[in-house]
Amino acid sequence: MKATAVPRLYRPNVGLMLIAADRRVFVGRRTGWSEAQGWQMPQGGIDKGETPVEAACRELGEEVGTTKALLLRESRDWITYDVPIDVAPKSWRGRWRGQAQKWFAFAFTGTDSDIDIAAHGHEFDAWQWTPAHELPTLIVPFKRAVYDAVLSEFADLVS
């Protein structure tokens, strides 16, 4: 696969589509967010010196609390989204317009008891398996186009 550069003014990030044997997808509810739009697939920044796939594996352990998964595929391109000013982290200080994400599809090889969302912090306060077609309705509006793109790219894995 040809490597592509992270688009300028976007924070390098990874997203994870963790797929259960029945093809439903893991989502967690962000701590402090509403029930209606607080759900998302795991995602996180790429640390200095880390490759996107290394970041994806680290985030799997941190946000889902398991490493019981098999890497299936990486997205062809970086998928970007702009973060509304009122939602952007203060730590960004205007440095980034949004995030550029490399997405990774993983097959979950464990059981529900292997998932521990509190293992490395409290990114999520709840989790569930969700049919893939419902994902865009669960996410905040400014990320819906990202989820549509990810669903299109990984459609054969979840349908």
For every residue of 56-120, DSSP letters joined together read HHHHIIIIIS---EEEEEE-SS-EEEEPPTTTS-GGGTTS-SEEEEEEEEEEE-S-GGG--TTTT
Q: For the chain, what is the domain count?
A: 1
Q: What is the pLDDT of residues 94-148, one digit of tens each?
A: 888 999 999 999 999 999 999 999 988 888 999 999 999 999 999 989 999 999 9
Q: Which domain holds residue 60?
A: 10-158
Identify whether 5 is part of a domain.
no
Residue of 37 and 94 predicted with greater confidence: 94
Identify whether 131 is part of a domain.
yes
Identify whether 119 is part of a domain.
yes
Identify whether 117 is part of a domain.
yes
Of the pLDDT bands very low, low, confident and very high (cuts 50, 70, 90), residue 33 is low
Identify whether 4 is part of a domain.
no
Rg from Cα positions in the chain: 15
Closest to 18 measured CA to CA, from 62, 58, 72, 54: 72
Percent of the chain scored above 90 by pLDDT? 75
Mean pLDDT of the chain: 92
Identify whether 125 is part of a domain.
yes
For residue 96, give the CATH number of its domain. Answer: 3.90.79.10
Identify whether 152 is part of a domain.
yes
CA 113 to chain CA centroid, nearest Å: 21
CA 98 to chain CA centroid, nearest Å: 14
Identify whether 105 is part of a domain.
yes
Instruction: Take residue 58 and report the two structure tokens written for it.
Output: 């680290």
User: Does residue 88 contact residue 82 with C-beta atoms inside 8 Å?
Assistant: no
